[in-house]
Chain A
Amino acid sequence: MDLDNLIQQFQKKDKVAFETLYNMYAENICGAINVIVKDAERSQEICQDVFVKIWEKSNQYDASKGRFFTWILNIARNAAIDEVRSKTHKNQKKNLPVDSLVGIFENGEDLNSKMDTIGLQSLLKGLKEKCILLIDMLYFKGYTQKEAAKELNTPVGTIKTRIRSCISNIRKNMA
């Protein structure tokens, strides 16, 4: 069954289709949460809640608004950001440290997170720090292009060309 069909079945509340989707994306979703929460156990719990939420909200997914993975990634990072916020009592996405991915990459920090830092480091090999920062903002923190441009004090056009080159770099590292 191809992805589109699978998603359709899932939206019809087919649990088998949902399980397939879970198996496809659970590691990624838990990983995205882990980058923000940096605590393996807590990330797993949140990740589980996120999938329950995805199931409950299944009818809200609209393919015209983006990729399925983009949709579930968004649900995941909102949950992860909520977790960090409730911990630190910081009220804005902007107040989160924007360098979580940078820190993980540079120090292999946080044994708690139990992530595959070697894998991560090889994926991010050769990427400039501003690249990693931008990836962190756009994919893990959910900044819009405008918000990212404002935060980094660069034109929106620069954000586009930079993220293009950063992701291309990762793709080369994957090859």
Chain B
Amino acid sequence: MSMDVKEYIASGKLELYVAGALSPEENLEVQHYAIQYPEIRKEIEEIEKAILELTKAASPKMPENGFAKVKAEIDDVIPFTPQASSKGTPWGSYLGWAASVLLAIGLFWMYTENSKLKSEIELTNQEKQSLEDILSDTQEEITSKETLLQEIRDRNVAVVALGGQTVSPESYAKAYWNKEENKVIIDAQGLPEPPDGFTYQVWSLRLDPLTPTSIGLLDDFASQDTKLFTLENANESEAFGITLEPEGGSETPTLEQLYTLGAVGS
């Protein structure tokens, strides 16, 4: 390690060290360098000498027997011997009172500690409960998604892609139709959120002649995160269409509001 000793000495840190004005970390640092570099140690001693001169000059005239007085006091450590009191102070009863006060304080302290611990336990239990709730929610969600996945993957499922129409060319949707179970799962992720007071209605279509049959509404669209909707469909569908209808749905589709349409593949 290289250190500029002269620079360190010139910094003024050593003066502060002697004053006791440095932080504990800086004290350690100076101490360390003082051991390593004799020049630094010597400088510290010189600074201390200046302060010794200064404080000495400020001293009152010292008494001759200064240390004798100090010595008398430090020798004068009287061992504790309980005295038999001339007044016959009832020490026993004082002690009894003191002990019971201490006991009361102790009991109160234990009581508060105990209640503190109890409320801590309660808090921990609450946390545990809410974590368990979250866990079970998550497990439910996984289960329902797995079920959905299985349903979609079923060999009897026909996948129908519904493309965007004039009113909303960007839109798209998918229908997973299980003919055996008369069930259609509509994946509506590609549809915009319906405006207030409106809802999407899904139609099963026969093409010749064009005969629409409502198979259900995509209600609560906004709050349904997966945008997957399961509907009943017992029709011999040739196509599926989704229109935007006033809330509650319509008897017949509003064709100007046809968002997506797709034919069932052969």
Contact = CB atoms under 8 A, between A and B. Distances in A.
Contacts of A96: none
B16 A145 contact: yes
A11 interface: no
Contacts of A19: 67, 71
B12 interface: yes
B67 A26 contact: yes
A138 interface: yes
Nearest to A65: B27
A48 B69 contact: yes
Interface residues of B, number: 43
Interface string B1-31: 0000000001111011111111110011001
A23 to B, nearest CB: 7
B20 A70 contact: yes
Given A26-B66, A115-B59, A119-B57, A171 B20 contact: no
B52 A145 contact: no
A15 B62 CA distance: 20
Secondary structure type dominating chain B contacts: helix
A145 B21 contact: yes
B17 A66 contact: yes
Contact of A144 (B21, B48, B67, B73): B21
Contacts of B57: 31, 115-116, 119-120, 123
B53 to A, nearest CB: 6
Nearest to A120: B57
A64 B48 CA distance: 17
A29 interface: yes
B59 A116 contact: yes
A167 B20 contact: no
Contact of A26 (B28, B48, B62): B62
Interface of A: 15, 18-19, 22-23, 25-32, 34-35, 40-41, 43-44, 48, 51-52, 55-56, 63-67, 69-71, 73-74, 101, 104, 113-116, 119-120, 123-124, 135, 138-139, 142-145, 148, 159-164, 167, 170-171, 174
